[in-house]
Amino acid sequence: MTSKLKPLIGPSILNADLSRLYEESQKLLDNGADYLHLDVMDGHFVPNLTFGHPVVKCLRSKIHNAFFETHMMVANPLQWIIPMAEAGVNQYTFHIEPISNVEEVCRKIKENGMKAGIAIKPGTSVTEIAKYISISDMVLIMTVEPGFGGQKFMEDQMQKVRWLREHYPLLDIEVDGGVGPSTIESCAAAGANMIVSGTAVIGAQDQAATIKLLRDTVQRAINK
């Protein structure tokens, strides 16, 4: 792998105490998180419902410098680009499955000053996303079915990560779902450099040590 890649750990706040969203988020950043992964669900693309741009805006009003990635598990990603940009989001990651206008969505995301991330569910072939990599900034490979936290890690999704790393050596590849100390070796070895970890980090007795373990594991894989 190339040394130009950076290991980036982005805890998901989905499993945090959402009544203390700012405190929980700031704690993660103080404990070494590189960015915050904000799961936005609309109750349509996935059955669950979380929060939208007003909550993100409130969080940004207290946390000024952190990198915010919104993982948009929504049926119409075009609809929320401007509100999320205005809320202070840095990267807008959306799923390609429910839409046909992926190019338009990527273009509008960038026009509004955000990075564009594209995501696929476990049942979607990695070749479906390959045609859009040139217009995106990052690819997210879901390692669980999107919509709920705390699911079991799907090892078979690592073949997608390996394929992407082989064909796109400099691409930022993110994995999300069931990732923690017991599965990070598999993710790192496959080539993922952006690690979303919810339950494993949020519930850790020592968040800083857990985040460091995840980052160090990815860095060792990058250095090989």
* Residues with catalytic function: 39, 176
Answer yes or no: is 178 a known binding residue.
yes
Q: How many CB atoms lie within 10 A of CB 78?
A: 14
On whether 39 is known to bind a ligand per the annotation, the reply is: yes
Is 149 annotated as contributing to ligand binding? Answer: yes
176 annotated as ligand-binding: yes
Q: Is 136 annotated as a binding residue?
A: no
Q: What angle do CA 183, 164, 12 make, to 5 degrees?
A: 45
Question: DSSP assignment, residue 12?
Answer: B
95 is in an annotated binding site: no
194-197: strand order across its sheet: 8-11, 194-197, 172-176, 138-142, 115-120, 91-95, 68-73, 36-41
Does the annotation place 150 within a ligand binding site? yes
SS3 142: strand
Strands (E), the chain: 8-11, 36-41, 68-73, 91-95, 115-120, 138-142, 172-176, 194-197
SS (H, E, C) 180-202: CCCCHHHHHHHCCCEEEECHHHH
199 annotated as belonging to a binding site for a ligand: yes
- The reply, when asked if residue 12 is annotated as ligand binding, is yes
Do 136 and 173 touch, CB atoms closer than 8 A? no
Angle at 176 between CA 171 and CA 180, to 5 degrees: 110
Structure tokens at 134: 């040139």
Residues placed in the known binding site: 12, 37, 39, 71, 147-150, 176, 178, 198-199
Residues placed in the known binding site for a divalent metal cation: 37, 39, 71, 176
Residues placed in the known binding site for substrate: 12, 71, 147-150, 178, 198-199
